[in-house]
Amino acid sequence: MKGAMSRNLYLLAASLLLFSLVSCAMSLIPNSLQPGLPVNGSVCKTIGLFFLVASLLSALAGILTAMFEQVERRNQERMRRELNEDLARLGRNKARK
């Protein structure tokens, strides 16, 4: 299952972005609709900002993970191809002798 790590990081980024949007939306609701809630709008905005930054960092980590997985996969394919070419060349050289 290749790409599972980057996919998990993308899902984490999406869920953190959703929490960020919900927190910012809560800051727009007036306090009269939230009786007994001890937070005010600035706390919700701050929490939303932290969730947004965490979401962006998680998305960046997912992108970098996907890029490194692709480099690793291409490197393995190149090594496999070179090994097959060397074996074929060795077989031709033995047949000539």
Give the DSSP H or E segment for 37: none
pLDDT of res. 15: 96
> Own/partner pairs for 88-94, CB < 8 Å, 24+ apart?
none
Taking the chain, what is the end-to-end CA distance rounded to the nearest angstrom? 45
pLDDT tens-digit series, residues 30-64 = 766 666 665 666 788 888 999 999 999 999 999 99
CB 17 within 8 A of CB 51: yes
The closest alpha carbon to 58, from 11, 1, 2, belongs to 11
Domain definitions of the chain by residue range: 4-96
pLDDT tens-digit series, residues 61-95:
999 999 999 999 999 999 999 988 887 787 777 66
pTM of the shown model:
0.73
